[in-house]
Amino acid sequence: MEFNLFGKAVRIQTSKLNQETQRAQAWGDEVVSATSGFYNNISAKIATEIAKVNFQHVKYKKVDGGSDTLASMDGSDIDELLNWKPKGYENTTAFWQAVTKKLLTTRKVYIKIVDDKQGNLIDLKLLESGDEANTNETINLVSPFFINENTSILDATLSGIATKLKQGRMRGMLKINAVVDNDSDEFKQTALKTISTMQSVSSYNGMGVMDDKSEVVEFKNSYSVLNDEEIKLIKQELLSSYFMSEKILSGEATQEEQIYFYNSTIIPLLAQLEKELSYKLISQSKRRKTQGNLYYERIIIDNQLFKFASLKDLISLYHENTNAPFLTVNEFKVLAGLEPSEGGDVYLTNANSKLIEKYSDLRTTDESKTKEEPDVE
């Protein structure tokens, strides 16, 4: 489709994206191969990161003035359902991979909750696009990989790649009745005016005209292999859309690159899963932290960025925290991905490793100044 706007030709090109193969159907084979193969690696990486997390069903105990302690409820029907049952797939890992890959290609994903007559959870079923979903009874996930209801990040990225690949490519030459002059813009103006006139005239019934001294020469050579710059462009565009570097795929990423990818791409999915699973799988009476209720339940997923810290970094932080404590023992354990413990809401400081309950206890006094001195006349 072409428009003649302000004397310039504007061409709009589009291609429907096959949601199953993630291929732009109108693209050339080489572009499709480079794009689809590389995208499959990206989607597999994201799906793997989600599939390998552990869903923890926990019960919190409220602690006045401190961090609420928690106890694991391993072996509950929720733990069994989320971490062990295959849910219609080869195993539970394959199920969560399928959920993640569907979120990459579909705006909304629905998971049906199956229970028995006694209310015990039996199974989860990933609904397909044609299945009817009762959103009050399903786990409803909204994909963070979509710009709007109909356009995914991949759609927009592929469109941008197509535009950039076509820029600078010449499909033909127009011979016009003018003389090339390096010191004047007359030739350029004549050429642009000729092309503009051809487009304007051809807007009527698709017919075009030119003078008897003009000629259109269309290039017949077809170059079917992408060059290095085009392949590099495809990779950069796709990777940046999912906040990744190529080193993430090759396993050579730095700690900073891993944290950036995880924080930007993985954690938004895990945070949504935590909230939706807790809301739909745990009853309101067990979930709410109400007055007079000593316990409340949650489903939590380990999404702490400290998992990317080396043991040396953790030891260094722990050492610094005892010299100038700003985290309680329990707060530090939570950052390290460990469970809070009874009596852990205290600061640990060197003297050597003295336990204190509040910052005011850090102040020390000189005993010699506290003794009453006799009055001197």
Q: Which residue has the higher pLDDT, 280 or 226?
A: 280
The whole-number pLDDT of residue 212 equals 72
CA distance 29 to 7: 34
Distance (Å, rounded) from C-alpha 101 to C-alpha 22? 11
**SS3 of the chain: helix, strand, coil, percent, to 5:** 40, 15, 40
Confidence (pLDDT) at 6: 43
Q: How far is CA 162 from the centre of its chain?
A: 23
Distances (CA, A) of 125 to 57, 82, 99, 111, 327: 20, 12, 10, 5, 42
* Residue percentage of the chain with pLDDT more than 90: 33
CB 333 within 8 A of CB 53: no
- At residue 1 the predicted structure's pLDDT band, cuts being 50, 70 and 90, is very low
Q: How does pLDDT run across 100-143, given as a tens digit for each residue?
A: 999 998 999 999 999 887 878 899 999 998 888 999 999 999 99
d(CA 43, CA 48): 8
